[in-house]
């Protein structure tokens, strides 16, 4: 199956970040599914370039999503963003 610029084989195990994204999706918070996917990759230490390549989107799109996440969660950088995500996951018992 083709999604964006990436081909997806559903017979393979999902990537590691998929677990973070699924946990983040289950939180009652304002981020979209796509923002949760991007945040999951950031939480794994991926660079914006690596996130863009993994998801088949441009770096500019990654930056735009990250900017939206900062605004939605009231944080100013990726360290605060990941800390907030980990805290929310901890509070939710995940």
Per-residue model confidence as pLDDT tens digits over 51-76? 999 999 999 999 999 999 999 999 99
Q: Is 67 helix (H, G, I), strand (E, B) or coil?
A: helix
Which one-letter DSSP state was computed for residue 2? E
CA of 30: how far to CAs of 21, 66, 84, in Å? 14, 13, 13
What are 2-34's pLDDT values in tens digits? 344 444 444 444 455 567 888 998 999 999 999
Domain 2-91 - what CATH class? mainly alpha
Assess contact for 54 and 41: CB atoms under 8 A.
yes
The β-bridge partners of 6 are: 3
Counted residue by residue, the chain has a size of: 94
Tell whether the model's pLDDT for residue 94 goes beyond 50: yes
Q: Report domain extents, the chain.
A: 2-91
């Amino acid at each position: 199956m083709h999604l964006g610029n990436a081909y997806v084989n559903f017979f393979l195990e999902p990537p590691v970040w998929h677990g973070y994204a699924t946990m983040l999706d289950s939180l009652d918070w304002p981020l979209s599914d796509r923002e949760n996917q991007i945040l999951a990759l950031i939480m794994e230490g991926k660079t914006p370039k690596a996130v863009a390549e993994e998801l088949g989107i441009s770096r500019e799109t990654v930056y735009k999503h990250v900017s939206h996440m900062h605004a939605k969660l009231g944080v100013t950088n990726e360290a605060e963003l990941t800390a907030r995500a980990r805290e929310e996951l901890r509070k939710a018992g995940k």
